[in-house]
Chains A and B, each alone.
Chain A
Amino acid sequence: MKFSTLPVVNILGRKGRSITLLVFSIILSFSIFGGALILLSLRSGLSSLEARLGADIIVVPYEARTKVSADTILNQGNRTYFYMSQNTIKKLSEIEGIEKISPQIYFCTMNAGCCAISLQLIGFDPKTDFTIQPWVRESFKGNLETGDILIGSKVSLSANRKLKFFDKLWNIAAQLEETGTGLDNAVFANIETIQLMMEAADKIGWSFTDKKYSDGMISSVMVKVADGYDIDNVASLIQRRVRKTQAVKSKSMTSGIASSLASVSKIIGILTIIVWILCLGILIVVTSLIIGERKKEFAVLRVMGASKKKIEHLVMGESILLNLAGGIAGIFLAVLFIVPFHNLIKTAIGLPFLLPDLGIIILMICSTLLLSVLCGCIASFYAARQIAKADTGTIIRES
């Protein structure tokens, strides 16, 4: 047997001892990787939410002011609809400080045959839109024709690429990338398509509004404030000049979610650090005790000709192998439990949750493995030096 294979032989030779150290190493790497993955996913979700909002101000009918929040529309994908006159666009275009305006119309489907919840339908004007199209372009580069729809990532794509709403089939042009928000449950189309859907709904007796608007109706107007103008001032101007509307600032919509996210992140961060410190402490104590028990073993090796350096390398080698194995197992378990259940985690926390890209996950895996091995080295370093320095003769005489 070669000296270089001794760490493996020692690990396999005393399974109980090795499994004890392995379990703590697994807990350590699971908490580090799992905690980091959840935190990064929450941050990605919030960035995605802020990017999706796009507009500085969203103008809605006054009676709908409580229905419009980042939480209800973008986070939970609440099926909601409210309307106002299309004349609002003309009034807004006369206000100073507004760079871009784009209308949107909201609608929702009835409970579909295969499932018990309805879908949010969002209509936008491709000519003026600046919030949905930048995101849509990542997945769909063609022109959205009348009758075509774009579906969110959490809406199942049927084999015939068609979805049935209000007794009519609509062609699915593309499925959009996941955003980690409620928009993943929505369906997007141009305003003409939504109006066709409303006519189809009317034909089958699905009544969605009592009000009639002679000049057409919309649900909201996305507003981009020009450079050099204050968003609060423009919002106040809109409130004063355009009656029966509410100007909702995007920042105020996301600030609530951002502060909830900060609290949740803090709790997860603190818990991860506590588990890490506890595990490291236990690893140091247990490693010292185990190495202390093996004094005679190391003394025999010294008598057989092993140098102090070799004994140190043997102890460190065992520690590195165990912690590497524990690190791999811990990371595997964290990925196994977090990635498949990420939708459930999102629903439970009630915050946007978007898993990071594969490249970032690989980087996290490498960092966690490195940290896991480093922790093992720290845990065994002191004990390794002590055992190497011990007097061989004294140890053998004690036995």
Chain B
Amino acid sequence: MKKKSISIIDVLLSFAAVALCFGTVFIFHPCGPKPDGSWMLCHWAERVIVAMGAAFFALCAVRFFVSQSIKTGISICFIAFSIITMLVPGVLINLCMMHSMRCWTVMKPAVTVISILIAVLSSIDVIISIVKKDS
């Protein structure tokens, strides 16, 4: 049976996933509902990001119980999914017309930062596992 260990990268990725999922709902949420109760475009981008964050969190939880080779596979997937998550607000799903609104000034930058951090941490994890395997 291959040795399982929890590394600092596992912990950091979990924090990033929590930030993406819960942070998007409670902290860097986009514009609220309109007076008539309907939602603006950015609301749907928020929902997709929260779903992506939940998926990240679930996979991060799996990382604590699997071997290094499976972790490496998960990290490779994280790199691709984090790029897609970064493209959701403003590219894949339109946001509000004015770039001075909350969805542009708060939600999109926060999602960009967290996605890049996830991509970088996952890349470091992949590189370390390749180097360990070679040595």
A interface residues, Cβ below 8 angstroms from B: 77, 112, 114-117, 119, 153-156, 184-185, 336-337, 340-341, 343-344, 347
Could you tell me if B109 and A340 are in contact, using CB atoms closer than 8 angstroms? yes
Contact sample, A vs B, 7 pairs, CB 8 Å cutoff: A114-B40, A154-B104, A156-B97, A184-B100, A340-B108, A341-B109, A343-B104
Could you tell me if A154 and B100 are in contact, using CB atoms closer than 8 angstroms? yes
B31-47 near A? 1/0 per residue, CB < 8 Å: 10010000011000000
- In the complex, whether B105 has a CB less than 8 A from a CB of chain A is yes
Given A153-B99, A347-B105, check contact A115 B40 (CB 8 Å). Answer: yes
Could you tell me if B31 and A343 are in contact, using CB atoms closer than 8 angstroms? no
Write out the residue numbers on chain B whose beta carbons fall within 8 Å of the beta carbon of A185.
Answer: 98-100
B interface residues, Cβ below 8 angstroms from A: 31, 34, 40-41, 94-101, 104-106, 108-110, 112-113, 116-117
Given A114-B41, A336-B113, check contact A155 B98 (CB 8 Å). Answer: yes
Could you tell me if B97 and A344 are in contact, using CB atoms closer than 8 angstroms? no
Could you tell me if B113 and A337 are in contact, using CB atoms closer than 8 angstroms? yes
Of all A-B residue pairs in the complex, the 9 with the closest CB atoms, nearest first, are A340-B109, A154-B99, A115-B96, A343-B105, A156-B97, A341-B109, A344-B105, A340-B112, A115-B97
| Smallest CB separation, A248 vs chain B (Å) | 25
Complex Cα distance, B110 from A341, in Å, reads 8
Complex Cα distance, B97 from A154, in Å, reads 8
Q: Which of A115, A184, A337, A341 has the most CB of B within 10 A?
A: A115
Write out the residue numbers on chain A whose beta carbons fall within 8 Å of the beta carbon of B95.
Answer: 156
Given A116-B34, A340-B113, check contact A347 B97 (CB 8 Å). Answer: no
| Smallest CB separation, B42 vs chain A (Å) | 9
Minimal Cβ-Cβ distance residue in B for A339: B109
Could you tell me if A155 and B116 are in contact, using CB atoms closer than 8 angstroms? no
Complex Cα distance, B116 from A343, in Å, reads 19
Could you tell me if A155 and B97 are in contact, using CB atoms closer than 8 angstroms? yes
Minimal Cβ-Cβ distance residue in A for B41: A114
Q: Which residue from A119, A153, A156, A336 sits with its C-beta under 8 Å from B116? A: A336
Complex Cα distance, B113 from A156, in Å, reads 22
Complex Cα distance, B40 from A77, in Å, reads 22
Complex Cα distance, B105 from A348, in Å, reads 11
Complex Cα distance, B111 from A336, in Å, reads 11
Could you tell me if A114 and B109 are in contact, using CB atoms closer than 8 angstroms? no
Write out the residue numbers on chain B whose beta carbons fall within 8 Å of the beta carbon of A119.
Answer: 98
Complex Cα distance, B101 from A119, in Å, reads 12
Complex Cα distance, B105 from A341, in Å, reads 6
Write out the residue numbers on chain A whose beta carbons fall within 8 Å of the beta carbon of B34.
Answer: 116
Q: Which residue from A112, A340, A341, A347 sits with its C-beta under 8 Å from B100? A: A347
Write out the residue numbers on chain B whose beta carbons fall within 8 Å of the beta carbon of A153.
Answer: 99
Q: Which of A114, A154, A343 has the most CB of B within 10 A?
A: A114
Complex Cα distance, B105 from A347, in Å, reads 9
Could you tell me if A344 and B106 are in contact, using CB atoms closer than 8 angstroms? yes
Complex Cα distance, B102 from A347, in Å, reads 11
Minimal Cβ-Cβ distance residue in A for B102: A344
Q: Which of B99, B104, B106, B108 has the most CB of A within 10 A?
A: B99
